[in-house]
Structure 1
Amino acid sequence: MARRKKGRDVHGWLVVDKPAGVTSTAVVGRVRWALDAKKAGHAGTLDPDATGVLAVALGEATKTVPFVTDAEKCYRFRVTWGAETASDDASGAVLERREARPDAAAIEAALPAFRGWIEQVPPQVSAVKVAGERAYDLAREGIEMELAARPLHVARLELVAADAEGAELEMVCGKGGYVRAIARDLGRALGCLGHVAWLRRTWSGPFRAEDGIAFAEIEALARTPDLEARLLPLEAGLEGLPMLPVTEAAATRLRHGNPAEVLTGAEHGATCWAALHGQAVAVGTYRAGLLHPTKVFVR
């Protein structure tokens, strides 16, 4: 017999403003402990040295994680010129140095090549799997890999500020983007080499850094109503998807995994969520007046 998970049935989202020096996994563990929750996960890993939005899903909200990870995200970061590192950030060993330094005009001229759909090779120190192993594990063992390029949509990449030794940029991109790879490739394109000095995710889908709770505050408010009051509803993870109201009878059918009639329509084949009195019942595909559920929420 499988062991039951310890903890309470807690459902919703807690937006954390992650500090540097803490892993995303550690943040999830701290949130789960602080809320005494049975189940928790996050919507998009941040590097240990990165800061900003880490949205933690609890309970049934974990079923909405894919919709947040698929959404656009915004990053503010600084690139330091003159050196390429093994990890493409300041924590890695320097692989090569160059004396060249670009001015603001040269940086602006290089940026269009990094906008729109681009092909990006992930950093050697990344979570990409190679023959079943994580690339960062192989990199720590000193194994060099040839990682395949992956498509990435960059909706926006702008120069915020520049000085003699580096530049601050802001990027909005889709799922699977590596800011460290942008810094590396931009440095190569400019002939000066570069790596990320610091990185902050300012928003991720519907979640904003300014709305996040500080990591230290999680422990201070652990096991208190004040922390639970910071939870956003499960439905926050469904922002951007059409909401289709349903009747009590339709909600019962959906909860049992059956297609059900909805009270308003949507585009044929669209991914939508059904709501009873504003509360999510299921996510699925809309076809000919019916929602065909793929995920059902039980609370």
Structure 2
Amino acid sequence: MARRRKGRDISGWLVVDKPAGPSSTQVVNKVRWALGAKKAGHAGTLDPEATGVLAIALGEATKTIPFVTDALKAYRFTVTLGAETNTDDAEGEVVKRSDLRPSDEEIKEALHGFVGEIMQVPPQFSAVKIDGERAYKRARDGEEMEIAARPLWVEELTLVDREDPDHVTLEMVCGKGGYVRAIARDLGRALGCLGHVRELRRTWSGPFDAAEGVSFETLDAEARTEALDARLMPLEIALADLPEARCDSASASSLRNGNPAPVIARDVEFGDTCWASFEGQAVAVGQYRGGALHPSRVFAGA
């Protein structure tokens, strides 16, 4: 018999302003402990040394994680010029050096090549799987792998500061699956000066902003209290980019049982993905066809 997971059936989103050091999984575990929650997950991994927005879903909100993962995200990061490392960040060993330092104008010009639909090769030290094993595990053993390039949508990439000739600070807005470390590596190579990430912060992710983030100190201070419960955002916030349809109690009951049901929708066309609500609460997400929602995932009622 499977062991029943202990904890409260609590649902919603909590935005953590992740400090440098802990892994994303460690942050999830801390939030689960602080809220006494039965179920939790995160929407988009951050490297241990990165800081900023890590959105944690609790309970029924975990069903909305894909909609946040697919949303645009923004990063502010500083690139050290003149050296490439085996991890593409400051935690790794320097493997190449260059005395070349490009001008601000040369950097701005090079950034144009990293905007739009680009192909990106993930870092050797990354979580992508190679023959069923994480790349970083093989890289730790000294193996150098051929990792296939994958598409990445970059909405914006701009130079915002240059504190000295060796460091530039950039801001990027991109889609899911991007590696900021790979941007630093490839930009350094394109400029001929080499480069790696010194600091990285995610400033927002989909509907979540760093300004809303809860610190580790707050998690400790408010653990297992109503004050921390009050910080939870409703699961519906993750569905903001989808059109909303409304339904009555009978349709809500049918949808929660996984059956198609009539909904009232505006500006929704046949085949569109949308979500249905009843009295302001999410009931289901699915495909709109012929005046009815055909659910692909459903949410338990309050």
TM-score bracket, shorter-length normalisation: over 0.9
Q: Which residue of 1 aligns with 2:156?
A: 156
How far apart in 2 are the matches of 1:112 and 1:233?
A: 38
Shift of 1:252: 0.7
How far apart in 2 are the matches of 1:30 and 1:153?
A: 32
Runs (4+) off by over 3 Å? none
- State whether structure 2 residue 205 is matched by structure 1 residue 204: yes
Q: Which residue of 2 aligns with 1:252?
A: 253
Shift of 1:263: 1.3
Unmatched runs of 5 consecutive residues or more in structure 2: none
Q: Which residue of 1 aligns with 2:17?
A: 17
SS of 1:148 mapped into structure 2: coil
SS of 2:87 mapped into structure 1: coil
Q: Deviations over 1:203-249 (max 9, x none)?
A: 00000000010112101110000000000011111111111110101
Q: Which residue of 2 aligns with 1:82?
A: 82
TM-score (norm 1): 0.99
Q: Which residue of 2 aligns with 1:97?
A: 97
Q: Deviations over 1:177-198 (max 9, x none)?
A: 1000000000000000000000
How far apart in 1 are the matches of 2:33 and 2:216?
A: 13
How far apart in 2 are the matches of 1:95 and 1:223?
A: 47
Q: Which residue of 2 aligns with 1:234?
A: 235
Q: How many corresponding residue pairs?
A: 299
Shift of 1:2: 1.5
Shift of 1:271: 1.2
Give identity over the alignment, percent.
66
Amino acid paired to 2:273: T
Q: Which residue of 1 aligns with 2:171?
A: 170
How far apart in 2 are the matches of 1:176 and 1:72?
A: 10
* Equivalent residue for 1:274, pick from 270, 276, 279: 276
- State whether structure 2 residue 30 is matched by structure 1 residue 30: yes
How far apart in 1 are the matches of 2:141 and 2:246?
A: 53
Deviates more, 1:15-24 or 1:264-273: 264-273
TM-score (norm 2): 0.98
Shift of 1:173: 0.2
Shift of 1:267: 2.0
How far apart in 1 are the matches of 2:195 and 2:37?
A: 42
* Equivalent residue for 1:289, pick from 283, 291, 294: 291
Taking the TM superposition and a 5 Å limit, the aligned residue runs for 1:9-158 are: 9-158=9-158
Q: Which residue of 1 aligns with 2:5?
A: 5
How far apart in 2 are the matches of 1:89 and 1:270?
A: 41
Q: Which residue of 2 aligns with 1:192?
A: 193
Q: Which residue of 2 aligns with 1:262?
A: 263
Shift of 1:61: 0.3
Taking the TM superposition and a 5 Å limit, the aligned residue runs for 1:211-226 are: 211-226=212-227
